[in-house]
Chain A
Amino acid sequence: MSASPVLKIEGLRTDFRIGRHAISAVDDIDLVIPAGETLALVGESGSGKSVTARSVMRLLPRKLGMIAAGSVWFTGKDGQTRDLTKLDEDAMRSVRGREIGMVFQEPMTSLNPVFTVGEQIAEPLRVHSGATHSAALRTAIELIGRVGIPDPAKRAQQYPHELSGGMRQRITIAMALVCDPVLLIADEPTTALDVTIQAEILELLRKLQRERKMAMLFVTHNLGVVAEIAQRVAVMYAGRIVETGPVAEVFAAPRHPYTIGLLHSLPRLGQGSAMRRAGVRLPSIPGVMASIADMPKGCQFAPRCGFAADPCRVEIPPLAEVAAQRRARCIRWREIAA
């Protein structure tokens, strides 16, 4: 294993322009992903998880979103470490697809309806490594088989609309992996799929990652999916990481009140009817997340937090170390842990 992590984000802040103002959509993001590891970025809508992932890929809406501070250190196939925020667009284009693979939520919109799926998987290979058309197509067909689609030679000649949603997502995964990237960024790749298909796709991603020893940044809103796919998790709320650490530890003993609330409000299979009979309600987090344009002073979660006290409303708490490899953005984490 190489000494430098594949991805190291330091102090990332991404601003969005709203009218004449710049508003930070994400701020103070620090993340490290070594080779062979999966980090899940979990949070609710508007928490900034997708903006973080898109900042790494430099795929922010032009003129509206921009990286305002921080660095994204990426160690490529050649072992060189570069700050992606400093690359020009041409250099960035040779990183995307070749060094960093990407899978998005909606397979139908990431595929081009007028090309066969075989051609689409082969394209990055032709562009990035100058493979011939027939060699690239051969690799594509092999990869279609590897992502678990039967009869790959025939499937390669089909168009996206001829495939089911689950199969299309397998195709976008093949497309992301065709150049052997060292990092895979997956943004809600199973959210649009039914649970039985989701389970298959997660299994596939796990298998491929193990085989290729890729690093993976996995964005999701689903805590169950996090437990299935990732070794480490970063929980985001209102544009900041509020808790991070190994998944098993964070889920077993969360230290941030938001993580605690999120885990409690998740309906769990096999408990509902007993709770209903006992007249017990599902614990919920009161209120709604403040808009990024109108953040409260101090801890952003304080207005919804059962533990909030006056000091919480003064300034944004630092991400404090609460145990080895674990951090939480809460000044009262010691009391919560007790």
Chain B
Amino acid sequence: MAADSAAGELITAVIVDDHAAITAGVHFWCSQAVPPINLIDAGDRLADVWTGPGAVADVVIFDLELVPRRPDFGELRRLVDSGRRVIVYSQHTDDATVIKCVDLGALAYLTKREGPEHLVAAIRAAARGEPYTAPSLSGALVADDSPGRPRLSQRETEVLRAWFVSSSKDLVAAKLNITVKTVDTYIARVRVKYANVGRAARTKSELVGRALDDGLITLAELNQTETQL
């Protein structure tokens, strides 16, 4: 699998978060991970993401609300536009904020309630340029009823809902009588659909390109979602 090929080289991530305790916690999780992940602490200084060691980190872990109640979508957009792989890490769980981050091209959205099992997995996925969908994001995608949302199949919705509810892919697979790999495929398809309707960012084009290569989505399906808009 792709994870095995990535395991050879050390992943570097930079975290921007004004809470020292959060940074310390993430640092601990990264050092305990096998293989460990090298974490650079930028504190609340966004400049350290653009210059110095932070500038070459594989993954950016971005606290959306460095200023309370003012989510910094502009900075997220700039990071994505310059080809960075971004994980949004926020206390916020309201669906509109979550969906907006995905639309802007964040590869993962994690709430701070979601622990190392999701954060470490999300960092590894992002380092490969792949999206990671944690249960909270899955819940937001199910509840998304904005007019521009992509049309999901009934099975995709079922998988998303079950993943949000159980937060265990084994349980989802057992409940829906499918394999864990199929569960992942359905979730990945949903993310590709979202990437397709969102802004044309570099990481997103990569994402759609890879989905086409892997057969997750066909050209016909791509055209179908576009005509629905």
Asked if A and B are interacting partners, one says no
Which positions in A face B, CB cutoff 8 Å?
Answer: none
